[in-house]
Structure 1
């Protein structure tokens, strides 16, 4: 989100400094391990579908400007046991927004993708115009574009704390103080390190993904990106790309992580491989081969799994962007545009009311992040 915002600010001619504790793209956040789904048909607040469609346009623009393939229109097959999840609201929103979707029953799913082993209770919503993004390429592309437009980047520069007053912000780093008129904080799973300057209802969680040896039926070009809602939990994944094997991760569950703690490597928990393998053996047996690679990353999400895009409650010249993990990467192109709007103009044409901090001040919070909806 920060790299995208840096690009959008710099292209407007605004003096922009980007600060990262590491050297992006890197493995210390939530963006490594390549593909991330980009889909358009959301339920809940219409803002999500609006933003997903705008994000797609901006990704294609970044792709053209950087000369790098970022988005693969593989289609996304959203699968679910009808006993645990329904696509009814997503299909309705897709109809309103004119997003192309196909509703499929189990028989039609098996006919089109015969390698799937699905009971008759399953149904699907297929999005032919959706696909996946090469996340690390996206970070690198926005980095290059931001720098080409005059932004500066400080790598390996950890932020120790932040202070602010009217009209100015000071970022205190291990290498000294940096002063600016405004700041955007998009620290992801590391937001906890910025307390007490800002304390957000964001929890960081250790998550794992695995790449499994799979049959050609599950290779890119033969199989789409997918989500999978089952009694065993909510999963997501990608076809085998360049011989890497099918990639799968679990959206729910996970162990809480705090900045500064060691992140346990893949395989530390029996469930790391076990949960992924069990669901593959049950529903995608042709993709349940040898584990080729496992990786760990950090989710960071809010209690309702909706984003936070707002101003600091005490310092309006400090913008906050967090709680994106699970389904946020696809939106980073447009979130960068939103943050640049707010920083430069004080307002944005995009609807960000659902992402206000005010929602945590009263009871009755949204529960949009259920099972598949958060993927």
Structure 2
């Protein structure tokens, strides 16, 4: 989100400084691991569908401007046990907004993808226009475009403190202090490092993904991206790309993590591979081969799993953007546009009311001086 916002500001001729504790793209956040799903049919607040459709347009623009393939329309197959999850809400919202979707029963799922072992209780919502993004390429593309428009980037520069007053923000780092009229804070799983300047109800958790040796039926071009809702839990994944094997991760569960703590490598817990293999053996046996690679990343999410895009309750010239993990990467192109809009004009045409920080206060209104403790 920060790199996208940096590009959007720089291309609008705003003098822009980007500060990162590492050197993006990197493995210390929530964006590594090659791929992220992009889909458009959401339930809940209609803002998600509108933003997903706009994000798709912006990804295409970034792809053209950077000359790098970022988006692959593999389709996304959303599978679920009907006893666990119903697609009715998402199907209804998709129809209202003319998003192409197909509702499939178990027989049709098996006919189209015979390598799946799906019980009769399963149904699916297939999105033919959805697919996946090459996440690290996306970060690199926005970095390239931002710098080309005159943005400056400080890498390997942790932020030590922030001070703000009307019309001015100072970022204190080990390499010096940097001053601007406004700031955007998009620190992901590292937001707690910015206390006491800001406290957000964001929890970071350790997550794992694995790549498994899989049959040709699960290779890119033959199999779509997918989500899987089962009694065993919620999962997501990608076809085998370039011989890397089918990639799968678990959306729910995860051990809480705090900045400064070691992040245990893949395989440190039996469930790292065990949870993934168990669901593959049950529903995708042809993809339950040898583990080719495992990786660890961080989820950072809010209690309701909706985003935070709002102003600091005490400093209106400081914007906060966080709580995106689990389903947020696809939106980073449009979130950058939103943050640039808010920085420059104070408003955006996009509906961001569902992402207000005030929803976590008892009254539903922002309160000066309120400290929102991390959950």
TM range (shorter): over 0.9
Q: How many Å separate the matches in 2 of 1:126 and 1:174? A: 49
Q: 2:50: which partner in 1?
A: 50
User: Structure 1, residues 18-42: CA drift from partner, whole Å, max 9, x if none?
Assistant: 0000000000000001110000000
Q: 1:19: which partner in 2?
A: 19
| 2:262 alignment partner, SS class | coil
Q: 2:335: which partner in 1?
A: 335
Runs of 4+ displaced beyond 6 Å: none
Q: 2:230: which partner in 1?
A: 230
| 2:37 alignment partner, SS class | strand
Q: 2:212: which partner in 1?
A: 212
Q: How many Å separate the matches in 2 of 1:163 and 1:122? A: 53
Q: 2:77: which partner in 1?
A: 77
- Tell me by how many angstroms 1:363 deviates: 7.8
- Tell me by how many angstroms 1:161 deviates: 1.2
Q: How many Å separate the matches in 2 of 1:75 and 1:43? A: 18
Q: 1:178: which partner in 2?
A: 178
Query: Are 1:248 and 2:248 an aligned pair?
Result: yes
Q: How many Å separate the matches in 2 of 1:268 and 1:163? A: 40
| 1:169 alignment partner, SS class | strand
| 2:60 alignment partner, SS class | helix
Q: How many Å separate the matches in 2 of 1:53 and 1:266? A: 34
Q: How many Å separate the matches in 1 of 2:39 and 2:201? A: 26
Q: Structure 2 unaligned segments of length 5 or more: list them.
A: 365-375
| 1:91 alignment partner, SS class | helix
Q: Structure 1 unaligned segments of length 5 or more: list them.
A: 365-375
Q: 1:304: which partner in 2?
A: 304
Q: How many Å separate the matches in 2 of 1:322 and 1:285? A: 37
How does 1:1-375 map onto structure 2 within 5 Å? 1-362=1-362
Q: 1:367: which partner in 2?
A: none
| 1:248 alignment partner, SS class | strand
| 2:15 alignment partner, SS class | coil
- Tell me by how many angstroms 1:362 deviates: 2.9
| 1:137 alignment partner, SS class | helix
User: Structure 1, residues 74-116: CA drift from partner, whole Å, max 9, x if none?
Assistant: 0000000000000000000000000000000000000000000
TM-score of the aligned structures, taking structure 2 as reference length: 0.97
How many equivalent residue pairs? 364
- Tell me by how many angstroms 1:265 deviates: 0.3
| 1:205 alignment partner, SS class | strand
